[in-house]
Structure 1
Amino acid sequence: MASYRAIAAVTEVLRRRLSTSIRAELPDARVVAGRPDEGLGRDTGAVSVFLFGVTPRTGAIGNDLPARGPGGRPPHAPSMALDLHYLLSFTGEEQSLVSQRMLGLALASLQAAPVLSDAELGAAAAEGLPEAMELAQGPERVRLSITPQSSEDMSRLWSMVSHHPYQLSVVCTAGVVFIESG
């Protein structure tokens, strides 16, 4: 079971994956964790990975209501199953279709490997995010998927997260992420 730091670990592993796949084709592109920024990578290309929402996952294999052991104490800390919702936004030079190329690379990366791998989690752990390895030991692996959005939903989302005009973007959900209390 992972600590509360698992949320940040998922964000960083997703950011690293997108950076690896996009920079293989567009070496000057940047992939950052944070709100979409109109000026970020306007010429060279940039991807913003922004966690905008978290929802509880009902029906996941979790320990949210622990049994009581001897003496009335829980045998383990209760856990919470979560889905993390990310806005992936793409900016780049429009004449060369940089933002569209980055979107295609990101989608291909998510389709090719929809589950965060041991290698990705281990690399993040080795580079200062030890909580990334906790994700590998959870009851379920973290799966990445694109979440369809209507134009109305996307408009509402953009009005909520940015004061900049709309940028090419998709919503990605990472789930299920288990965090334990205590």
Structure 2
Amino acid sequence: MAPHESWDEQLFALFDDLEGQAAARFELERDAELVDRSRSVYHRVSLDSRLVASLGEQLTLEVAGVGRIDGELQRVGEGWGLMSGHAQDWIVRTAAVRVVQGASERSVPEVAWSPLHKLGLGSALRRLAESQARCIVHLVEGTQHEALVRRVGSDFVEVLTPSQARLLVAFESISAVQSRD
């Protein structure tokens, strides 16, 4: 207690000190609550939403049945991404992605996606069928087929091999489609 302070001043100083302590305690509790809340909400963040936030970035993907793919992420749709590599483009099914390196810290919630981001794997494969581009279809267990995409069904793609064999390949068995031309 300072000798020159009145009783009122001392009382207000005590209240100011208590308010400061309460504010500091509130900030600590609020920060802890925000961290806890952000952790509890993070379970809603999907790989696709992190990839949408990573458009234009150089990424390294580890893909089942393929291995490592390095390149720029150019497009993301629902369940797939388009990577532009050194000499090839890759349509990668996100369900086959095992590891992503170089992704943005952010995510873009699905409600903020453009209509193009909501196009599925079938849309990307239909573009290949229209362009008549040769490609290599990589399957999740490691096999691959050099092919020309002919038609795309709701959950499969019909391809024509160089020996003229027609194959129906289920979307869920595809890990990636690699450009050949």
Q: Place the TM-score, normalised by the shorter chain, in its bin.
A: under 0.3
Q: Which has the larger radius of gyration?
A: 2
Greater strand proportion: 2
TM-score normalised by structure 2 residue count = 0.24
- TM superposition score normalised by structure 1: 0.24
Higher relative contact order (Cα pairs below 8 Å, separated by 6+ residues)? 1
